Amino acid sequence: MKKIINTDKAPAAIGPYSQAIKVNNFLFISGQIPVNPKTGEVPVSIDKQTHQVMKNIEAILIEANLNWNNVVKTTIFLQNLNNFTIVNEIYASYFSDTYPARECIQVSALPKNVLIEISVIATEL
């Protein structure tokens, strides 16, 4: 069974996709960019953009009755891998003891010309 997960506490989809889809015990969260869902604004710095992305992901997790401990896989897209250290430190601060599997990829461009996008797979424990 497939269920669409949607919250106004994360940015609305800017294309033909859902914020997240829950299938059985898995939640697939679409790539989140650093758009503030209340204002529509994007912070300028990589640290503030990273925090905003993580807040957006957290809002979707909460809507699905999950949290960071349920995350098993993430994919980070960066416009510049020179930002990896900053992103890595902020990213790590959202997790407890167990980190999910992950890859980090440099890309040439992201929607709205943001610096970071993160997608997530989570599961009910």
CA 21 to each of CA 4, 38, 51: distance values in angstroms, whole numbers, following the listed order: 5, 22, 23
Going by DSSP bridges, is the β-strand pair 71-78/101-106 parallel, antiparallel, or unpaired? Answer: parallel
CA distances in angstroms from 124 to 5, 26, 51, 68, listed in the order given: 14, 7, 24, 11
Q: Are 98 and 122 contacting, i.e. CB atoms less than 8 angstroms apart?
A: no
Task: Indicate which residue of 104, 110, 119, 121 is catalytic.
Answer: 104
Q: Is 104 a catalytic residue?
A: yes
Q: Which residues are catalytic?
A: 104
